[in-house]
Structure 1
């Protein structure tokens, strides 16, 4: 079977899959008034180390200006805060607040349930294989 048109583009197919997955994840997170982007930020900060805005932008796949607005909204909700970096007290880092950790604990369950639904629809082994293959693709093309 030969695929033509947009369906023959890897970039297009990856974008379609990403939109579909994120649409379902957004619906799962909506009950706690958390966007997919905000969940990614909270998840990245859950390691407790604090991250510079540059590190965070790279980790959560967001451009700096968009990330700054998202972090400001999370600060307004007392979910994260800015403070001195542990490695260099002159630098500012973003940290997960206790209230943010509580919210993250609640929404992580919704995110895990969303992942289970995908695995049930696509197959658990195929889902794990797809995740491994996508990681390999990212590693290969940098």
Structure 2
């Protein structure tokens, strides 16, 4: 078994934490958690989305998402309603206040991205994002077919 610190999941977690350390202070300044921001960003990209689909695209478990949506709704940053044909299904959209908050946070977020890009390099960052996208696609295809990696190990 490979060294723990060199395992892919740990490397990805350390890189994610290094990136999020750059963004957390700005989010805190705007009264947001990273999960709340992730939801608002996902909602800004669509008109309306079902709660179950939002959980999938924002990588959040249902119970966590329910709590976060309740908080965002109480702050009037999102709007929720039920599907008329099926009262069990919920729809979510970003409110005008939520859009204004994104517009307020965006300059700070873009400044952080610019600093990361300057430090790491635009070409390297683009290549990293391309490689991560390719890795995600490869592993998604592997999950559909089942099995292990090339070396037969699971992490």
Mark yes or no: TM-score above 0.5.
Answer: yes
Runs of 4+ in 1 over 4 A off after TM superposition: none
Match of 2:81 in 1: 83
The 5 A counterparts of 1:1-142 are 5-85=3-83, 89-90=85-86, 91-142=89-140
Deviations 1:74-94 (A, max 9, x none): 001000010245xx6534201
Aligned length: 137
Query: Contact 1:29/1:110 (CA < 8 Å) preserved in 2?
Result: no
Q: Distance in 2 between matches of 1:30 and 1:45?
A: 20
Long gaps (5+) in structure 2: 141-155
Q: Provide the TM-score with structure 1 as the length reference.
A: 0.89
Which 10-residue stretch deviates more, 125-134 or 18-27? 18-27
Q: Distance in 1 between matches of 2:15 and 2:85?
A: 41
Q: Provide the TM-score with structure 2 as the length reference.
A: 0.82
Long gaps (5+) in structure 1: none
Deviations 1:10-41 (A, max 9, x none): 11100000111112111122211111111110
CA RMSD across the alignment: 1.6
Q: Distance in 1 between matches of 2:85 and 2:134?
A: 36
